[in-house]
């Protein structure tokens, strides 16, 4: 039997409609939610992510301040731009598209963002708030995964969830959120130091892959009827495709035959991440009203 495909695109549109309604209320109060999007260099994948975010902001009636910087921009110059944005009352969120060029210290840049404008939960303060269960923005991709699981009424509490990948923006925060009382899952976090990943994934009720390794998770690595969430977005060369490449996830699409629910790439977590981002920007703008 084939898995039910989890339509992240449809849910994302629903969330985006809700955000648009919230934006209209803010507009009536004289506030236009605004996200500053900083891109250093011209990495094609980053450029395409940034364009997707800016399109979603415009569709929701929000503003984006596009700050495009040359690849050789110095760290001090970037920090100074962030300091100005932190002070600017008409900018409610700040997003620095990662990765940054190697000569810039990512940690310094992230730390410089005011946590009240840190709509993707990158700063140490935001991450600390999340881990301690305090108020603050939640990271967009992990919250997108959780929202999609909820939409399909997947039981999370009491489930064994195996997250493969421990990056600071996806795997680690996701594993952390899943272990909170709110979600009550039992979580195993796998990475390159894990001895036998399939030993863990085969026991999982829910497998979440966020590794950047195309088709790492194969049908033999999951149990029958597991729920499989594919976060990966990878460009693999494909001479038959118009652009010379195609997008694929971290999960072999053949998993669909064995899973009960499966989030595809594209159309799964990618659109959910953007929806969560614009939701956070609207919230940041709303928070600015209460100041």
Tokens of 127: 């991450």
Q: Does 232 bind ligand NDP (CB under 6 A)?
A: yes
Interface region with ligand NDP, contact rule CB under 6 A, candidates 59-67, 81-89, 209-217, 238-246: 209-217
Q: Does 234 bind ligand NDP (CB under 6 A)?
A: yes
Interface region with ligand NDP, contact rule CB under 6 A, candidates 36-44, 66-74, 165-173, 238-246: 165-173
| DSSP strands (E only) in the chain | 4-5, 34-40, 63-69, 93-96, 160-164, 186-190, 206-209, 227-230, 234-237, 245-248, 261-263
Interface region with ligand NDP, contact rule CB under 6 A, candidates 15-23, 70-78, 103-111, 226-234: 226-234
> Of 141, 155, 148, 145, nearest to 10 (Cα)?
148
| Choice from 16, 22, 53, 166 touching ligand NDP (CB under 6 A) | 166
In the residue annotation, 17 being an active-site residue is answered as no
Q: What are the phi and psi torsion angles at 129 (to 5°)? A: -60, -40
Pick 60 or 216: Cβ nearer ligand NDP: 216
Q: Which residues contact 78 (CB under 8 A, 6 or more apart)?
A: 38, 40, 69, 96, 100, 104, 109
Q: What are the phi and psi torsion angles at 72 (to 5°)? A: -95, 15
| Choice from 19, 37, 119, 216 touching ligand NDP (CB under 6 A) | 216
Pick 171 or 264: Cβ nearer ligand NDP: 171
In the residue annotation, 53 being an active-site residue is answered as yes
Task: Return d(Cα 198, Cα 216) in angstroms, integer.
Answer: 10
Q: Does 270 bind ligand NDP (CB under 6 A)?
A: yes
What x/- string results for residues 98 through 137 when contact with ligand NDP is judged by CB under 6 A?
----------------------------------------
Q: Does 165 bind ligand NDP (CB under 6 A)?
A: yes
Q: Does 6 bind ligand NDP (CB under 6 A)?
A: no
Interface region with ligand NDP, contact rule CB under 6 A, candidates 18-26, 106-114, 155-163, 228-236: 228-236
Of residues 120, 230, 250, 252, which has the active-site annotation? 120
Pick 26 or 49: Cβ nearer ligand NDP: 49
Contact criterion met (CB below 8 Å) for 137 and 117 = no
Q: What is the DSSP letter of 250?
A: S
Name the strands in the sheet holding 186-190, side by side, starting at the edge strand that comes first in the sequence: 4-5, 261-263, 227-230, 206-209, 160-164, 186-190
| Choice from 69, 146, 163, 197 touching ligand NDP (CB under 6 A) | 197
C-alpha triplet 231, 232, 233: angle, nearest 5°: 120
Q: Does 169 bind ligand NDP (CB under 6 A)?
A: yes
Task: Return d(Cα 67, Cα 34) in angstroms, integer.
Answer: 13
Helices (H), 60-190: 75-87, 106-112, 124-132, 140-151, 171-178
Q: Does 233 bind ligand NDP (CB under 6 A)?
A: yes
Bridge partners (DSSP) listed for residue 23: none
Rounded to a whole number of angstroms, the minimum distance from the CB of residue 242 to ligand NDP is: 21
Task: Classify 243 as helix, strand or coil.
Answer: coil
Q: Does 139 bind ligand NDP (CB under 6 A)?
A: no
In the residue annotation, 97 being an active-site residue is answered as yes
Residue positions annotated with a catalytic role: 53, 97, 120
Q: Which residues are at the interface with ligand NDP (CB under 6 A)?
A: 141, 164-167, 169-171, 190-193, 197, 210-213, 216, 231-234, 269-270, 273
């Amino acid at each position: 039997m084939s898995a039910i495909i989890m339509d992240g695109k449809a849910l994302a549109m629903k969330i985006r409609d809700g955000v648009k309604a919230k934006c209209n209320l803010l507009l009536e109060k004289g506030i236009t939610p605004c996200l500053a999007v900083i891109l250093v260099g011209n990495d094609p994948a980053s450029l395409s992510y940034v364009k997707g975010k800016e399109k979603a902001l415009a569709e929701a009636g929000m503003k984006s301040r596009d700050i495009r910087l040359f690849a050789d921009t110095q760290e001090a110059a970037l920090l100074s731009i962030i300091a100005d944005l932190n002070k600017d009352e008409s900018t409610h969120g700040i997003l620095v598209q990662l990765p940054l060029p190697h000569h810039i210290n990512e940690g310094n840049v992230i730390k410089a963002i005011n946590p009240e404008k840190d709509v993707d939960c990158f700063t140490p303060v935001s991450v600390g708030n999340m881990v301690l269960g305090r108020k603050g923005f939640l990271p967009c991709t992990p919250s997108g995964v959780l929202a999609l699981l909820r939409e399909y009424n997947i039981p999370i509490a009491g489930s064994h969830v195996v997250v493969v990948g421990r990056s600071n923006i996806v795997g680690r925060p996701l594993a952390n959120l899943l272990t909170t009382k709110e979600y009550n899952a039992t979580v195993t976090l796998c990475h390159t130091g894990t001895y036998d990943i399939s030993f863990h994934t085969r026991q999982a009720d829910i497998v979440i892959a966020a590794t950047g390794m195309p088709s790492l998770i194969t049908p033999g690595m999951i149990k029958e009827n597991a729920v499989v969430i594919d976060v990966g977005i990878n460009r693999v060369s494909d001479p038959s495709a118009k652009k010379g490449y195609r997008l694929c996830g971290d999960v072999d699409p053949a998993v669909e035959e064995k899973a009960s629910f499966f989030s595809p790439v594209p159309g799964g977590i990618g659109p959910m991440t953007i929806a969560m981002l614009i939701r956070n920007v609207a919230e940041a703008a709303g928070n600015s009203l209460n100041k």
